[in-house]
């Protein structure tokens, strides 16, 4: 049941629960999740000003980490302005990688940053888009749930957004919900979120909502000094929207000067100790520490009137970040993908390699391999791969670059270069093996050549009748079995059952499994019987490290618990380098 909240000073929770006002008689329309208790969970809201690209996701997740290190349960939510229902159909070129949660949600890559930093699995409740909110509104309108009222941005859209935030608060039992508003203040796309948050602040009452404005401190080369004007103007937009920030985080290249902080303080009504520098640092892992040093956590806890449950300095993250230093040894891992000129498309792979490097005590350098150069006969695999110590063929879709990738896989197999094939990279390894070891010329995936005489990779039976693109893949976390005595079994520390995340439509054609096995390929990971005969890991025993996975191991790698396949890829690459 939903109740409607009529804010009054000092109103008791019980009174609230008793009020079920008829919405047509009042202007207060705030649907509340049943049993919601105001003030039980607090909200910290991060809003970007001036411009995008300031690293709002990294800042917000570092802030979340710091609050978590104070012993508080902190659950993030990212609110996207676009009208898509999720990120599944977005082009990685424009939006960076599509991150996949365990529950199958296809979302913004920032959720990956949150999962890695907060070391927790998130659910679809931590990601909303305007498309989701509006489609819920339209559904309700068609069902007649608005009882003859005209449906409006205020109060209905804003009401839906507030309901979502409170629902997450209640469901998660968090101490703090960390709200990241996508885009920048002033965007039409996020104006309904901003207005909802203004209302949320009003309704939740004092000490329950804390606003942090992330802003930009310009330093034009011609002047050589920091200027606060863009920041002042940006924050003014927030004030115009009825939101008084409690803290201002200044993104600057060098530490923000005292003078600039003073100016911002005067123009925004934020005391000096709550206007802090967020300058560039060498490693993002030290940002929580940086925030802790200027007492951002203490200020937030004071604003929200909550007590810390432990000292941030004693956290394992703090210990991890403190021992990061320059590595003397280096390995080079080649990534042969389609979007190699846009690094955000492979954000999680880059992170997983970084984690694996830290755990092996080595710096991992990435060599982006443009496989189309092989297809255009400009280069041979040797020219591109001679310098690398290991190779990854990442996930992908479609025809472009496929032949180049297959040529690279062959080179890695024949020259014993450590190889990790991810999703499409698993499928490319099957095709290469079929063509060059099984002698099945023209073997292919039906995704690229639906008339191939040897469809060694074909569409999953469950995918055959699905129409439309969004959310239609085999998605999310799934359990899989590991074959005893295999390389995978050793790499996963003797576990017989693991869980990894998927995002695909095609699979190894079951009719060819025997043929592959006869020539020495081992399928060391497979789906539980009830899901069908789906091969999930392949390996070659006569190779130091040749592994393909139908899943995406990069989505589950975290700094403090690096993904084992990446750790072994880097370790074998180090051995090869000698
Ligand atoms: N295009 C392939 C499929 O749909 C691989 C997908 C991927 O690499 N994520 O199965």
Region of residue 476 (left: phi > 0; alpha: psi -120 to 50; beta: else): left
More confident residue, 473 or 252: 252
Select from 308, 343, 372 the last residue of a domain: 308
316 found inside a domain = no
Ligand 1, atom 1: closest residue by C-alpha: 397
pLDDT confidence tier of residue 94, bands split at 50, 70 and 90: confident
Report whether residue 503 contacts ligand 1, using a CB cutoff of 6 Å: yes
Same domain, 387 and 292: no
pLDDT at 339: 64
pLDDT band at residue 2, thresholds of 50, 70 and 90? low
Q: Which entry of 107, 250, 423, 458 is annotated as an active-site residue?
A: 423
Poorest-confidence range of 3-12, 165-174, 452-461? 3-12
Atom 6 of ligand 1, residue of closest alpha carbon: 504
Atom of ligand 1 nearest to the CA of 552: 9
pLDDT at 234 over 70: yes
**342 C-alpha to center of ligand 1: Å?**
19
The arithmetic mean of pLDDT across residues 472-486, rounded, is 94
Ligand 1 atom with the smallest distance to the CA of 425 is: 8
Q: Summarize pLDDT for 545-561 with one digit per residue, the tens.
A: 999 999 999 999 999 99
- Asked, for residue 192, whether it belongs to a domain, the answer is yes
Does the beta carbon of 88 sit less than 6 angstroms from any atom of ligand 1? Answer: no
Question: In the prediction, which pLDDT does 241 show?
Answer: 97
Same domain, 403 and 476: yes
Q: What is the CATH number of the domain that holds 200?
A: 3.40.50.300
Nearest atom (ligand 1) to Cα of 473: 4
How much is the pLDDT for 3? Answer: 52
Q: Hey, what are 205's tokens?
A: 């009452």
Q: Is there an atom of ligand 1 within 6 Å of 346 CB?
A: no
pLDDT digits (tens, 9 = 90+) for 145-166: 888 889 999 999 999 999 999 9
- Residue 70's nearest CA partner among 176, 173, 212 is 176
Radius of gyration of the chain, Cα coordinates, nearest whole angstrom? 26
Q: Confirm whether 139 is a catalytic residue.
A: no
Mutate to test the pocket of ligand 1, among 394, 457, 503, 535 (most ligand atoms within 8 A of CB): 503
Residue indicated by tokens 């389609």? 338
Extended beta strands in 290-359, E state: 330-335
Indicate if 360 and 462 belong to the same structural domain: yes
How many Å separate Cα 45 from the centre of its chain? Answer: 18
Residue 323 lies in a domain: no
Contact 413, 501 (CB under 8 A): no
Task: Write the residue with the smallest CA distance to atom 5 of ligand 1.
Answer: 424
Q: Is the CB of 161 under 6 A from ligand 1?
A: no
Tell me, in angstroms, the distance from the centre of ligand 1 to residue 385's CA: 24
Task: List the residue whose alpha carbon is closest to atom 9 of ligand 1.
Answer: 395
Q: What span, in angstroms and rounded, lies between the C-alpha atoms of 182 and 143?
A: 30
Active site residue 552: yes
345 and 299 in one domain?
Answer: no
Tell me what the pLDDT averaged over the chain comes to.
91
447 ligand 1 Cβ < 6 A: yes
pLDDT of 20 strictly over 50: no
Q: Residue 101: inside a domain, yes or no?
A: yes
Q: Of 274, 308, 342, which residue sits at a domain end? A: 308
Q: What Cα–Cα distance (Å) separates residue 11 from each residue in 35, 166, 495?
A: 15, 18, 54
In a domain? residue 15: no
Q: How confident is the model at residue 12 (pLDDT cuts 50, 70, 90)?
A: low
Q: Tell me which residue range forms the domain holding 139.
A: 42-308
What does pTM read for this prediction? 0.93
Cα 266 to middle of ligand 1, angstroms: 53
pLDDT of residue 6: 56
User: What is the model's pLDDT at position 341?
Assistant: 64
Query: Is there a contact between 177 and 165 (Cβ–Cβ < 8 Å)?
Result: yes
**Which residues of 320-472 form beta strands (DSSP E)?**
330-335, 363-368, 390-393, 419-422, 444-445, 455-459
Please tell me if the CB atom of residue 327 comes closer than 6 angstroms to any atom of ligand 1.
Answer: no
H or E element, residue 92: helix 92-95
Q: How far is the CA of 182 from the centre of ligand 1 (A)?
A: 28
Distance 423 CA to ligand 1 centre (A): 6
Give yes or no: residues 285 and 381 share one domain. Answer: no
**Residue 400 near ligand 1, beta carbon < 6 Å:** no
CA of 119 to the centre of ligand 1 (A): 26
106 alpha carbon – ligand 1 mean position (Å): 14
CA of 474 to the centre of ligand 1 (A): 10
pLDDT value of position 470: 67
Q: How confident is the model at residue 479 (pLDDT cuts 50, 70, 90)?
A: very high
Q: Are 31 and 5 in contact (CB under 8 A)?
A: no
Q: Provide the pLDDT for residue 11.
A: 56
550 in the same domain as 478: yes
Q: Is the CB of 395 under 6 A from ligand 1?
A: yes
Of 5-9, 110-114, 274-278, least confident by mean pLDDT is 5-9
The predicted pLDDT at position 346 comes to 92
Number of domains composing the chain: 2
Strand-by-strand arrangement of the 497-504 sheet: 363-368, 330-335, 390-393, 419-422, 546-549, 535-539, 522-526, 474-482, 497-504
In a domain? residue 363: yes
Mean pLDDT, residues 20-32 taken together: 64
Residue 327 has pLDDT above 90, yes or no: no
Residue 50 sits in the same domain as residue 134: yes
Confidence (pLDDT) at 146: 87
Contacts of residue 347, defined as CB under 8 A and 6 or more positions apart, other chains included, come to 96, 97, 99, 109, 112
Residue 450 placed within a domain: yes
Q: Is the CB of 505 under 6 A from ligand 1?
A: yes
Whether residue 160 contacts residue 134, with contact meaning beta carbons closer than 8 Å, is answered with: no
48/339: higher pLDDT:
48
Q: Among 475, 506, 553, which is best to mutate for testing ligand 1, by the most ligand atoms less than 8 A from CB?
A: 506
C-beta of 535 in contact with ligand 1 (< 6 A)? no
Q: pLDDT confidence of 125, banded at 50, 70, 90?
A: very high
H/E stretch holding 556: none
506 CB under 6 A from ligand 1? yes
423 lines ligand 1 (CB under 6 A): yes
- 193 Cβ below 6 A of ligand 1: no
Pairing of strands 247-252, 74-80: unpaired
pLDDT at 531: 87
Q: How confident is the model at residue 469 (pLDDT cuts 50, 70, 90)?
A: low
- Is residue 23 one of the residues assigned to a domain? no
The whole-angstrom separation of Cα 276 and Cα 193 is: 25
For a mutational test of ligand 1's pocket, the pick from 424, 428, 502, 552, i.e. the residue with the most ligand atoms closer than 8 A to its C-beta, is: 424
Q: Are residues 303 and 405 in the same domain?
A: no
Give the distance (Å) from ligand 1 centre to CA of residue 396.
5
Q: Are residues 440 and 518 in the same domain?
A: yes
**Does the CB atom of residue 48 touch ligand 1 within 6 A?**
no
Mean pLDDT, to the nearest integer, of 46-71?
94
Domain co-membership, 303 together with 336: no
Question: Domain check: are 275 and 411 in the same one?
Answer: no
* 469: CATH: 3.40.50.880
Cβ–Cβ under 8 Å, residues 420 and 488? no
How much distance in Å is there from the Cα of 249 to the middle of ligand 1? 40
List, for residues 72-93, the tens digit of each pLDDT value.
999 999 999 999 998 888 887 7
24 labelled catalytic = no
Is residue 519 located within the same domain as residue 483? yes
Is residue 377 within 8 Å of 131, Cβ to Cβ?
no
555 lines ligand 1 (CB under 6 A): no
């Amino acid at each position: 049941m939903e109740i409607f909240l009529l804010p009054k000073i000092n109103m008791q929770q019980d009174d609230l629960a008793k009020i079920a006002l008829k919405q047509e008689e009042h202007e207060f329309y705030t649907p509340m999740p049943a049993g919601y208790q105001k003030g039980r969970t607090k909200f910290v809201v991060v809003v970007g000003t001036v411009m995008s690209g300031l690293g709002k996701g990294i800042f917000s997740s570092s802030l979340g980490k710091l609050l978590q290190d104070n012993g508080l349960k902190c659950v993030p939510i990212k609110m996207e302005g676009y009208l898509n229902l999720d990120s599944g159909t977005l082009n990685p070129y424009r939006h960076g990688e599509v991150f996949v949660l365990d529950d199958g949600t296809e979302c913004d890559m920032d959720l990956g940053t949150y999962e890695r930093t907060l070391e927790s699995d998130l659910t679809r409740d931590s990601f909303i888009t305007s498309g989701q909110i509006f489609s819920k509104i339209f559904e309700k309108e068609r069902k007649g749930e608005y009882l003859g009222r005209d449906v409006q941005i205020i109060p209905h859209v804003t009401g839906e957004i507030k309901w979502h935030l409170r629902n997450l608060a209640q469901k998660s039992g968090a101490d703090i919900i960390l709200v990241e508003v996508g885009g920048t203040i002033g965007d039409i796309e996020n104006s309904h979120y901003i207005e909802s948050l203004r209302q949320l602040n009003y309704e939740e009452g004092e000490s329950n909502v804390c606003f942090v404005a992330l802003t930009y401190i310009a330093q034009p080369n011609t002047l050589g000094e920091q200027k606060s004007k863009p920041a002042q103007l940006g924050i003014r937009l927030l004030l115009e929207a009825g939101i008084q920030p409690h803290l201002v985080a200044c993104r600057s290249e060098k530490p923000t000067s005292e003078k600039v902080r003073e100016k911002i303080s005067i123009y925004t009504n934020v005391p000096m100790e709550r206007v802090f520098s967020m300058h560039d640092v060498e490693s993002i892992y030290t940002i929580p520490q940086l925030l802790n040093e200027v007492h951002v956590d203490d200020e937030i806890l004071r604003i929200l009137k909550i007590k810390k449950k432990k000292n941030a300095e004693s956290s394992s993250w703090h210990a991890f970040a403190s021992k990061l230093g320059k590595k003397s040894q280096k390995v080079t891992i080649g990534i042969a993908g389609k979007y190699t000129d846009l690094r955000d498309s492979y954000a999680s792979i880059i992170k997983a390699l970084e984690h694996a490097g830290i755990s092996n005590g080595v710096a991992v350098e990435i060599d982006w391999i443009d496989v189309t150069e092989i297809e255009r006969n400009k280069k041979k695999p040797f020219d591109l791969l001679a310098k690398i110590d290991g190779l990854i063929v990442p996930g992908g879709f479609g025809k472009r670059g496929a032949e180049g990738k297959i040529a690279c896989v062959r080179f890695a197999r024949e020259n014993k270069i450590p190889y990790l094939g991810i999703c499409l990279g698993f499928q490319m390894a099957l095709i290469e093996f079929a063509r060059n070891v099984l002698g099945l010329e023209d073997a292919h995936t039906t995704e690229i050549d639906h008339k191939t005489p040897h469809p060694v990779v074909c569409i999953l039976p469950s995918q055959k009748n699905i129409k439309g693109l969004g959310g239609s893949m085999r998605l999310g976390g799934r359990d899989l079995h590991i074959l005893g005595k295999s390389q995978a079994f050793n790499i996963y520390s003797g576990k017989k059952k693991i869980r990894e995340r998927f995002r695909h439509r095609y699979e190894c054609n079951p009719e060819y499994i025997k043929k592959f096995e006869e020539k020495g390929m081992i399928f060391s990971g497979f789906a539980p019987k009830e899901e069908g005969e789906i091969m999930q890991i392949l390996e070659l025993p006569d190779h130091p490290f040749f592994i393909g996975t139908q899943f995406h191991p990069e989505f589950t790698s975290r700094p403090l618990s690096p993904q084992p396949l990446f750790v072994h890829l880097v370790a074998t690459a180090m051995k090869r380098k000698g």
